[in-house]
Amino acid sequence: MNSLKNIIRKHQKEIPYFIMFFCIMIIIHLCIREYIGDAPAYFSKLLNKYTFKGAMSMRYRTWTSRIIIETPLLLISHNLHLFIWAVVDFLMVVLLLFSLMKLTHYKHNKIVIVLILLYPFIDMRSAGWVATTVNYLWPLALGCASFVLLDKLYHNEKLNLMSILFFMICELFSTNFETFSVFYFIVLTFVNVLMFLEHKHTIKSHVLISIQYVISIGNIFLALSCPGNWHRNAIETTRWMRDYPTLTMADKLMLGIEDTMSKLIQSNILFLIFTLVLFLIVLKKKTTVIKTVVASVPFFSVLFITLLSPFSEAYFKFYKLLFAGPVNITSMNYNSLFPYAAFIFFVVIVVIIVLLLLNYGKDIKSSMFIVCIFLAGFATRVVMGFSPTLYASSIRTFIFLDFAIIYCIVRLVDDNELYVYDKKYEKYINIFTVLFIIFYSLNTILCITSI
């Protein structure tokens, strides 16, 4: 009881934010209706034709390697148990929140709450709420929870058998998503190498990290060897991108980078905040004019296509053309500047961001880890360029990158002490933030109820 009182006293100022978070998430889940989407149109009927084992076998042979992820999807979709889905989905969002808080060591819980609420949850409706959340949001939430195990191993915190089993199940489910399995493998390797260099390994950490490698590599192998993935690729090519087989590896990489960066810059509020934080850090450090100007490029690249678009259209008409859409380099246009311009511009922005992250972490270890998270998250979206569903999958595929950006923002704020000390200003900032989040969330709720 005393420990609970101490926790409440310690986080007393954050209680309104927690209340706001839970209220908004409950309202969102109460407003959701599932009239269309993959769950009612397809998954709800599968068990009428097949046994559970037969349905999973058919999906593996003809469509996907996500047999672990699709297990709850199939069970929930049968007879459309939407109440069960809503409860579990709400718990997944809560798990995501507390996992991110733990991964940032509870230092900036208010920032974590605000950034999660700024994520456009409306993106989770694109293939139907049930199918999209189970395939994207649930692996993200359980993946963040499994990262907590890595954090505990690195800091040599106590672990009991039940918590270890829980974290392993979380990893098994989350890494069944192909791109996240690679994301997890990259982060796992980084932490493993770091622990080796700092002599932090114990027998327990060796065993647990080895098991994690087996799970992540096993899911990567499952995705690569699954006949359904290759069969689906052929069908999706015919349906969505018939010229896909003519594209080279370089073409696909360019498409992935251009489409990812174009959407990040044009319509991603988290990326705007990310670039703003980087720019504010550079201003705070009072560096040279040249460095400040270079550091401003990512931030103003967003402003010129959003808030300052009238100005850019009047004085920099060519700028909007960079976002006209990915352009393949062919024998007809290879000697023209335009197909290369957008790609070069977007790559320059990514390079600037990486250089800023390397320079403004607390130390080289922190900087390298932030870069690792950002690039691993970035890769999960860029790899969509190697899929014929690059455009059909819509912006739901940004979810891993978006939450990688959220983590990077919180780490940068902490590493550079980019927060307000003056209590008078803190009060007004809190009021403005809460009001903004409420209005932003109301907009999301109105969008959900209008469907």
- Give the CA dihedral 121, 381, 267, 294, nearest 10 degrees: 130
Spans of all domains in the chain: 244-419
Torsion angle, CA of 379/381/385/391, rounded to 10 degrees? 180
CA 381 to chain centre: 9
Q: What is the pLDDT of residue 167?
A: 96
* pTM score, whole prediction: 0.93
What are the respective helix, strand and coil percentages of the chain, to the nearest 5?
80, 0, 20
At 303-354, the pLDDT tens digits run: 888 887 777 776 777 777 777 765 555 555 555 666 678 888 999 999 999 9
Which parts of the chain sit beneath pLDDT 70? 1-9, 11, 314, 325-339, 420-424, 451
List pLDDT tens digits, range 241-285.
Answer: 888 888 888 888 888 998 899 999 988 999 999 999 999 999 888
Question: Tell me, what's the pLDDT at 422?
Answer: 57
